C-alpha cells in the first residue's frame, strides 16, 4: 500500500512542478529567483529521466543515475538558499556581501567534509553515496537554519511572511526538517525504508504546494517600520569595518593638529601686541553694541 501511495506521489510531483514553473513565469518571479526556477525545472527533467529507468532498466543504472542527480540537486538547493539570502538582504549591500563570503566558505567546508567521508567509507559501500548523503545532511541543516533565521529576524529585516523569499525558505525548511527527522528515525531502526521514502515524498509534495500558494499570492512589500533601524546599524557598522583608517591617513591628521596648535599659539602671542598698538577709545566716543542682531530667517528647511 505504501509503495502505491509513494508511486502516486512521485508521479504527481512533476505535475505540481510544471504548475509552479508556469506560475513563476506568469508572475515574472523567475527574474527575481532564476536559480529557484532552474531547481524546479531540473526536478521535472529528473523525473523524466529516472522514472523510465526505474520502471524498465536495471538496478545498477538506476542507482548511479539517482545519486548523480541527487548530487546536482544538492548543489542547486544550496544555490537556492544563497539566492533567498540575497533577496532578503537586497537593500543592505554590505550584509549581502558578507553573506556571500560566508556561503562560499560553507560550500568549501561541505565539499571538504564530503570528500573526507567518501575517502574513509568502507570498501563494500559506495563512496559516491556517502559523499552525497553527507552533503545532503549539511544542506538540510542550513535550510532549517535559514527558516529559523527568518522567523527570528524577519521583524528586524522588514521581511514579511507573505514575501516569496519567505515562502521558498519555508518550503525548503519544512522538507529538510522532515528528512532529517526521518533519517534519524531510520538510522535508529524506528521506521523502515518504505515509511521513510513515503515521508520524504509527502513532505516534498507539501513544499510544492507551499511554493505554489506563495507564487500565486500577492507580492508583499518590505516593512518600513522603525525596527529596520537595527539592520541599518548593522549595515553601517560593517561598512565602517570595511573602510578602516589607513596608516597614510594619519599623517595629514597629525599635520592638521600641529598647524592648529601653532596657529593658536601665534594668535595668543600677537593678541597682546596688537592690543598695545591700538589706542583706547576716547571717553566721549559713543560705545557700539558688541554684536548686531541678525535677521531671523522666514523659514527653516
Closest CA to 159 of 241, 204, 95, 79: 95
Higher pLDDT, 6 or 251: 6
Closest CA to 175 of 151, 148, 207, 145: 207
Average pLDDT value for residue range 107-127: 74
- DSSP code of 225? S
| Interval 248-285: pLDDT, tens | 444 555 455 555 555 654 544 545 544 444 444 444 44
Average pLDDT value for residue range 11-18: 93
**Does 121 reside within a domain?**
yes
Cα angle, residue 81 at apex, residues 206 and 234 outer, rounded to 5°: 125
CB atoms within 10 A of CB 100: 14
Most confident region among 69-78, 151-160, 238-247 by mean pLDDT: 69-78
Domain count, the chain: 1
Mean pLDDT of the chain: 75
Note if the pTM is more than 0.85: no
**Does 262 reside within a domain?**
no
| Interval 40-71: pLDDT, tens | 999 999 999 998 998 888 888 888 898 899 88
| Interval 166-204: pLDDT, tens | 899 999 999 999 988 888 888 888 888 888 888 888 999
Which of 65-74, 84-93, 136-145 is predicted least confidently?
Answer: 84-93
Question: What is the span of the domain harbouring residue 94?
Answer: 79-233
Amino acid at each position: 500500500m505504501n509503495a502505491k501511495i509513494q508511486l502516486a506521489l512521485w508521479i504527481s510531483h512533476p505535475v505540481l512542478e510544471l504548475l509552479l514553473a508556469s506560475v513563476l513565469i506568469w508572475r515574472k518571479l523567475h527574474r527575481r529567483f532564476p536559480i529557484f526556477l532552474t531547481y524546479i525545472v531540473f526536478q521535472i527533467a529528473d523525473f523524466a529521466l529516472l522514472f523510465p529507468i526505474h520502471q524498465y532498466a536495471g538496478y545498477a543504472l538506476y542507482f548511479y543515475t539517482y545519486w548523480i542527480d541527487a548530487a546536482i540537486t544538492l548543489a542547486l538547493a544550496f544555490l537556492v538558499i544563497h539566492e533567498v539570502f540575497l533577496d532578503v538582504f537586497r537593500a543592505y549591500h554590505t550584509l549581502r556581501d558578507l553573506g556571500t563570503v560566508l556561503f562560499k566558505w560553507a560550500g568549501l567546508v561541505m565539499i571538504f567534509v564530503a570528500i573526507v567521508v567518501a575517502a574513509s567509507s568502507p570498501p563494500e559501500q559506495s563512496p559516491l553515496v556517502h559523499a552525497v548523503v553527507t552533503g545532503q545532511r549539511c544542506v538540510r541543516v542550513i535550510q532549517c537554519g535559514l527558516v529559523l533565521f527568518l522567523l527570528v529576524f524577519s521583524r528586524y529585516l522588514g521581511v514579511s511572511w507573505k514575501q516569496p523569499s519567505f515562502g521558498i525558505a519555508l518550503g525548503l525548511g519544512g522538507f529538510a526538517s522532515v528528512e532529517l527527522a526521518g533519517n534519524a528515525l531510520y538510522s535508529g531502526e524506528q521506521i523502515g525504508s518504505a515509511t521513510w521514502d513515503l515521508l520524504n515524498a509527502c513532505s516534498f509534495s507539501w513544499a510544492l504546494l507551499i511554493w505554489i500558494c506563495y507564487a500565486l499570492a500577492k507580492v508583499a512589500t518590505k516593512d518600513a517600520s522603525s525596527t529596520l533601524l537595527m539592520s541599518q546599524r548593522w549595515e553601517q557598522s560593517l561598512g565602517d569595518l570595511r573602510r578602516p583608517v589607513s596608516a597614510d591617513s594619519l599623517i595629514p591628521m597629525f599635520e592638521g593638529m600641529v598647524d592648529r596648535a601653532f596657529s593658536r599659539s601665534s594668535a595668543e602671542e600677537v593678541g597682546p601686541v596688537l592690543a598695545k598698538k591700538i589706542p583706547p577709545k576716547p571717553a566721549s566716543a559713543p560705545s557700539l553694541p558688541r554684536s548686531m542682531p541678525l535677521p531671523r530667517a522666514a523659514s527653516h528647511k
